[in-house]
Every structure is written in structure tokens, then in C-alpha cells.
Amino acid sequence: MKTYMQRKEDVKRKWHLLDATDKILGRLATQAAKLIIGKHKPTYTPHTDGGDYVVIINAEKVKLTAKKDEKKIYRWHTMYPGGLKEITFKNLMKKDPKKVLWLAIDGMLPKTKLGEKMRKRLKIFTGDKHPYTGLVNN
């Protein structure tokens, strides 16, 4: 029996629509990452980009469990002395709700050239309107 290895020519990409309304952030992010990487397909091959497109709507309605919306802190450094910046989940949701989902899903994708291609297939929108209505399968 031969082992099947997927080639990039054999990849058939689908479009998936995920609604973030009242969904838990981490669970939604893992579901989206799995679809983008292509692990849900029987033809999954780690070294080939065989994933699908993911469109997420209603990004501003995503939830966290317990009191994490007040406790969760996003940190980054500007690379200048004393440049450690931080913002809470609640404040980031007011400022840019798409960034919260982007950061959660981005952390689950590979940090390679393959991962860069995968990131381009993630589309996040606030509200329920998006320009991919004709392409989405769901």
C-alpha cells in the first residue's frame, strides 16, 4: 500500500463561514485554525498548504469564559527603551474586535512561509455583512 502525499496541484479549496456570535474565543479560534491548515481533510499533508478559506462574521460578539474579559492582557514591545505596551481584552474589543480574533488564530498557525500563505485565507468582519457571499459554502 502506498502512502498518499498531497500535491499543491491537487488541492481543492472551499470557503467556510463561521459566526462568532456568543462563541468562546479559543474554541472558535481552534476551529478556524483547523480549517485554514486543512487538518479536517483526509488528504492532510503537513508540508503542503491544503487548507480552506475561512470567513468569520460578527467578530465583536465573541465571548470569554469567567472574568477573563477584565483579566486578559495583550502585551507587545515597541523595541524602544521602556516600550512595553499592554491593553486589556475589553479595551481591545472596543478599539478593534477583529484584532482579538486575528491574534488568537494567528498564534495557532505555523510561523513559516507556509503559515504566511495560510494567514491570507483568513477573513474577519464585524457585523454580518461580507463581500464573499457568493463563494461561501455554508
In whole angstroms, give the CA distance from residue 56 to residue 16: 8
- Check residue 138 and give its pLDDT: 57
> Which amino acid is located at 95 in the chain?
K
Give the Cα-Cα-Cα angle 13, 104, 49 (nearest 5 degrees). 25
Whether domain 8-65+96-124 has CATH 3.90.1180.10: the reply is: yes
Q: Is 122 exposed, middle or buried (0-12, 13-18, 19+ CB in 10 A)?
A: buried
In whole angstroms, give the CA distance from residue 50 to residue 41: 8
pLDDT in tens, the chain (138 residues): 788 888 888 899 999 999 999 999 999 999 999 999 999 999 999 999 999 999 999 999 999 998 898 899 999 999 999 999 999 999 999 999 999 999 999 999 999 999 999 999 999 999 999 999 888 865
